[in-house]
Chain A
Amino acid sequence: MSRFWALALKELRQIRRDRRLTISLIVPPTLQILLFGFALDSNVSNLRLGIVDESRTAESRELISVLTQNPTFRLRGSYATPAALGEDLGVGRLDVGVVVPYDFARLRARGRPATVQVLLNAANANTAQIAQGYVEGAVAFLNRDLAGARAAPVELRTALLYNPGLVNAWFIVTGVFGTLIILNGSLVSAATMIREKERGTVEQLLMTPASALEMITAKMVPLFVLLMIMVGLVVAVARLVFGVPLRGSPVLLLAACAGCVLTGIGLGTFISTLARSANQTQLISFFINPPLAMLSGGLTPIEAMPKWVQPITQLNPIAHFSEIARSVLVKGAGLDVVYPNLLALVALASLFVAFSAWRFRRQLN
Chain B
Amino acid sequence: MRRILAQARKELLQLVRDRLALGLALVLPVGLTALMGTSVSLTVTDIPIVVQDFDQTPLSRRYVDAFRTSLTFRVVTLPAATSPETLLARGRARAALIIPEHFERDLRRRRPTETQLLVDATDGNTARLVRGSAGQITRAFARDVGRVGTPPIETATRLWFNPGRDPQKFYGPGFLVLGLSIFPTVLAALAMSREGEQKTILQVYVSSISAHEFLLGKILAGMVIGFVQCVLLALLMFTLFGLRFAGDPTPLVVGSALFVFCVVSFGSLVGAAIPNQAAAVQAVGLGGFLLAFLLSGLIFPIENIPDALRWISSLVQARYYVLIVRDAFLQGGGWPAMWWAVLAIGAIGLVFYALAWRAMRRMQVKA
Contact = CB atoms under 8 A, between A and B. Distances in A.
B156 interface: yes
B167 A126 contact: yes
Given A143-B153, A163-B121, A45 B333 contact: no
Contact of A91 (B63, B110, B153, B337): B337
Interface stretch (B4-12, B41-49, B256-264): B41-49
B273 to A, nearest CB: 16
A36 B294 CA distance: 7
Contacts of A128: 159, 162, 165
A158 to B, nearest CB: 5
A290 B148 contact: no
A36 B90 CA distance: 27
Contacts of A327: 89, 91
A236 interface: no
B44 A301 contact: yes
Nearest to A114: B153
Q: Size range of the interface on A?
A: 35 or more
Contact of A116 (B91, B138, B155): B155
A90 B282 contact: no
Interface in B153-170: 153-163, 165-167, 169-170
Interface stretch (B124-132, B202-210, B219-227, B359-367): B124-132
A111 B125 CA distance: 38
Interface string B13-41: 00000001101100010001001101111
Contacts of B151: 113, 140, 143, 147
Nearest to A91: B337
Given A113-B154, A304-B42, A290 B127 contact: no
Contacts, number: 337
A300 B107 CA distance: 40
A299 interface: yes
A154 B91 contact: no
Interface string B329-361: 011110011000000000000000000000000
Contacts of B126: 301, 303
A38 B157 contact: no
A92 B121 contact: no
Contacts of A117: 155-156, 158
Interface in A86-126: 89-92, 108, 111, 113-126
Contacts of B230: none
A44 interface: yes
Residue from B123, B148, B167, B282 with most neighbouring chain A CB atoms (10 Å): B123
Given A116-B156, A143-B153, A337 B91 contact: yes
Contact of B161 (A45, A121, A162, A304): A121
A90 B333 contact: yes
Contact of B88 (A139, A140, A156, A161): A161
A295 B65 CA distance: 33
B141 interface: yes
Nearest to B41: A304
B157 A132 contact: yes
B120 A38 contact: no
Nearest to A310: B39
B239 interface: no
B300 interface: yes
B138 to A, nearest CB: 4
A207 interface: no
Given A150-B148, A152-B142, A126 B42 contact: yes
A28 B113 contact: no
A88 to B, nearest CB: 10
A157 B43 CA distance: 23
B186 interface: yes
A121 B331 contact: yes
Interface residues of B, number: 107
A242 to B, nearest CB: 12
A39 B297 CA distance: 9
Interface in B76-126: 85, 88-91, 94, 107, 110, 112-126
A308 B285 CA distance: 29
B306 A119 contact: no
A123 B35 contact: no
B281 interface: yes
B122 A123 contact: no
Contact of A43 (B132, B304, B327): B304
B362 to A, nearest CB: 21
A171 B123 contact: yes
Contacts of A143: 151-153
Nearest to A164: B121
B128 A135 contact: no
Interface stretch (A3-11, A274-282, A347-355): A274-282
Interface of A: 20, 24, 28, 31-32, 35-36, 38-46, 63, 89-92, 108, 111, 113-130, 132-137, 139-140, 142-143, 146-147, 150-164, 166-168, 170-171, 174, 187, 277-284, 286-287, 290-291, 294-295, 299-301, 303-306, 309, 323, 326-327, 330-331, 333, 337
Given A42-B300, A330-B122, 11 more contacts: A111-B152, A113-B151, A115-B155, A118-B156, A123-B330, A136-B135, A136-B136, A155-B114, A155-B115, A163-B122, A286-B281
Interface of B: 20-21, 23-24, 28, 32, 35-36, 38-47, 63, 85, 88-91, 94, 107, 110, 112-129, 131-136, 138-139, 141-142, 145-146, 148, 150-163, 165-167, 169-170, 182, 186, 277-279, 281-282, 285-286, 289-290, 294-295, 299-301, 303-306, 309, 323, 326-327, 330-333, 336-337
